[in-house]
């Protein structure tokens, strides 16, 4: 039986012009999450905008970074809004705009993510089964690929979540770069409002609804409705053998990506423990209040006195 959380908060959204940036990492469950956002946008009154890049590039040129920052800052008619796309982290504070977006993301066990992508290229999924994938007809298993050291299962392909959080610096996209790992951790800790994990997607959706009801009011109910919890399922996926796991775990890239994943997962579990109700509870109360407010009433005289005393 699933818990049904009840989230209460301010419902006057008329002055909310927030912007969320979700720089989605491939094969982490982002299609499921954005499917929910697209269903809620009309009801909750916000825009959802996909950032489509040429040749599916994960980085933008300096000129395009400026254009992107200026566009999302000035496109007031579309606020509040969620911008999403498979793009590396962009620090808007370095691009001459005053907008401070809310960054969110989801990470996944790095080897699970790679294996899912490996079979996705060969067999596709139930989201768009009619699409012909790049490796259609190739029935080689991931284990067999590892044995012959094929390019599709090369551990270097694990280098994905670190660069997405690291950003647009060239070092971010160098597999095994130690600075990139530290930069990714720093950006996650300082710039991201919430980073969930694929394996706990229901809890991530619950936290989004509790924290950002302007966008995600009703998200948990949608997520748990028939067909939503597992909106996208890769066909033909087989679990790796113990020997494959042993070989992959020797890789420096896997060790670094696993380090980053565990860093993100530990933080998410800590937030979840504080913010979600315990088993059997159905209400998430506000955990702060304002008090000892002085003076009791604010008047023009108070304001003028404070101004003159500066």
The 10s digit of each residue's pLDDT in 255-304 is: 999 999 999 999 999 999 989 876 545 566 788 899 999 887 776 665 55
The answer on pLDDT for 6 being more than 80 is no
Give residue 42's Cα distance to chain centre: 22
Q: What pLDDT was estimated at residue 280?
A: 47
* Per-residue model confidence as pLDDT tens digits over 210-227: 999 999 999 999 998 855
Per the structure block, which two tokens stand in for 67? 């254009």
Distance CA 189, CA 192 (A): 6
* Per-residue model confidence as pLDDT tens digits over 16-66: 899 999 999 999 999 889 999 999 999 999 999 999 999 999 999 999 999
Q: How confident is the model at residue 1 (pLDDT cuts 50, 70, 90)?
A: very low
Residue 86 designated active-site:
yes
**Sign of the C-alpha dihedral computed for residues 176, 252, 27 and 162 taken in this order:** negative
Distance CA 121, CA 136 (A): 7
Catalytically annotated residue among 84, 168, 169, 230:
84
Distance CA 200, CA 221 (A): 16
DSSP state of 133: P
Phi-psi region of 175 (alpha: psi -120 to 50; beta: other; left: phi over 0): beta
Catalytically annotated residue among 50, 86, 230, 249:
86
105-114, 204-213, 225-234: range with lowest mean pLDDT = 225-234
Sequence length of the chain is 310
**SS3 assignment, position 216:** helix
Radius of gyration of the chain (CA): 22
**SS3 assignment, position 21:** strand
Residue percentage of the chain with pLDDT more than 90: 71
* Per-residue model confidence as pLDDT tens digits over 129-184: 555 445 655 789 999 999 999 999 999 999 999 999 999 999 999 999 999 999 99
CB 92 within 8 A of CB 101: yes
Q: What pLDDT was estimated at residue 50?
A: 98
Residue 249 designated active-site:
no
The secondary element (H helix, E strand) that includes residue 273 is helix 252-275
The domain locations on the chain are 19-275
| Best CATH choice for the domain 19-275 from the list 3.40.50.300, 3.10.110.10, 3.40.50.150, 3.40.47.10 | 3.40.50.300
């Amino acid at each position: 039986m699933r818990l049904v959380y009840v989230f209460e908060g301010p419902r006057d959204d008329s002055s909310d012009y927030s912007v969320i940036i979700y720089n989605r990492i491939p094969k982490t469950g982002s299609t499921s999450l954005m499917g929910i956002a697209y269903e809620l946008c009309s009801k909750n009154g916000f825009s959802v905008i996909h950032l489509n890049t040429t040749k599916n590039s994960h980085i933008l040129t300096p000129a395009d970074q400026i254009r992107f920052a200026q566009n999302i800052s000035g496109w007031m008619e579309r606020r509040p809004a969620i911008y999403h796309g498979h793009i590396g982290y962009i620090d808007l504070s370095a691009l001459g705009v005053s907008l401070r977006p809310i960054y969110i993301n989801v990470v996944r066990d790095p080897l699970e993510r790679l294996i899912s992508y490996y079979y996705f290229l060969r067999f596709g999924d139930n989201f768009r089964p009619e699409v012909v994938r790049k490796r259609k007809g190739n029935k080689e298993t991931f284990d067999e690929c590892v044995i012959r050291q094929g390019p599709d299962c090369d551990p270097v392909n694990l280098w994905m979540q670190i660069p997405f959080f690291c950003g647009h610096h060239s070092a971010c996209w160098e597999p095994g770069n130690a600075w990139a790992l530290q930069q990714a951790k720093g950006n996650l800790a300082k710039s991201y409002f919430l980073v969930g994990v694929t394996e706990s997607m229901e809890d991530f959706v619950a936290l989004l609804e509790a924290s950002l009801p302007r966008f995600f009011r009703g998200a948990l109910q949608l997520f748990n409705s028939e067909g939503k919890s597992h909106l996208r399922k890769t066909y033909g996926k087989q679990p790796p053998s113990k020997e494959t796991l042993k070989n992959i775990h020797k890789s420096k890239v896997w060790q670094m990506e696993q380090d980053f994943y565990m860093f993100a997962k530990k933080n998410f579990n800590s937030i979840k423990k504080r913010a979600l109700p315990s088993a059997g509870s159905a209400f998430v109360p506000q955990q702060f209040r304002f008090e000892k407010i002085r003076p009791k009433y604010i008047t023009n005289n108070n304001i003028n006195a404070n101004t003159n005393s500066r």
